[in-house]
Chain A
Amino acid sequence: AQTVTQSQPEMSVQEAETVTLSCTYDTSESDYYLFWYKQPPSRQMILVIRQEAYKQQNATENRFSVNFQKAAKSFSLKISDSQLGDAAMYFCAYRSAIRWNTGTASKLTFGTGTRLQVTL
């Protein structure tokens, strides 16, 4: 079974600074997807960024980027120029691609989350 580990329960960053959230995962599969979701106090789960395992290039979305190290099974999220609105819980998630060709989806496995505080 796949597992996702986020070893930082809480992180803090000053506004305009850069912070990196860590995520490691365990899988025997070679084809999969990794996601970072953000959950602000409103509790809505919002997709931040997605990475496909077969792509070597790290995904970026504006101020958000990832460092994907497939061999090390590491998938960290970097937030640049942090803003007050970035304060939230951040969840790393894994999804197998094995069943895609059958037209079915696999489950999404989440880590335990990292609470990010942004200070002035």
Chain B
Amino acid sequence: DAGVIQSPRHEVTEMGQEVTLRCKPISGHNSLFWYRQTMMRGLELLIYFNNNVPIDDSGMPEDRFSAKMPNASFSTLKIQPSEPRDSAVYFCASSFKGRGTEAFFGQGTRLTVV
């Protein structure tokens, strides 16, 4: 398996623009997580899905952020409109439902909002 695949690897956008980050989890995994990493706040869980259903979105900063998982093999994280403070590395991770299994992370998307 190719692992968790995120696209794009890097994104530079202007303030106010819409940004969409994409994630393909590992086949067979039924849990998917979106994390944001910054120097100031470390790794923050934004939202996670089980069986394509959002379970906990309490980490989503505000209404400008939205996430979807239309099927088991694809998820998106959208920011509209983007702001400079959204600049961070965004990670997607997936996990199998088995007991004690770890989350496997993608390479992350480095987002810069100018």
Contacts and interface: CB of A to CB of B under 8 A. Distances in A.
Interface stretch (B12-20, B76-84, B97-105): B97-105
Contact of A91 (B43, B48, B96, B100): B43
Interface residues of A, number: 22
Interface of A: 33, 35, 43-45, 47, 50, 52, 91, 95, 97, 100, 103-105, 107-113
B59 to A, nearest CB: 9
Contact of B100 (A44, A50, A107): A50
A50 B51 CA distance: 24
A105 B51 CA distance: 10
Of the listed residues B43, B97, B99, B108, the one surrounded by the most CB atoms of chain A closer than 10 A to its CB is B43
B91 A105 contact: no
Interface string B83-98: 0000001010101111
A112 B102 contact: no
Interface centre among A50, A100, A107, A113 (most CB of B within 10 A): A107
A110 B42 contact: yes
Interface residues of B, number: 28
Nearest to A52: B100
B89 A47 contact: no
B100 A43 contact: no
Which DSSP category, helix, strand, loop or mixed, fits chain B's interface?
Answer: strand
Contact of A108 (B51, B93, B99): B93
B18 to A, nearest CB: 24
B33 A108 contact: yes
A33 B48 CA distance: 18
A107 B51 contact: no
Contacts of B56: 107
Given A104-B30, A110-B42, 20 more contacts: A44-B108, A50-B100, A52-B100, A91-B43, A104-B50, A104-B55, A104-B97, A105-B31, A105-B48, A105-B50, A105-B95, A105-B97, A105-B101, A107-B33, A110-B35, A110-B43, A110-B45, A111-B42, A112-B42, A113-B43
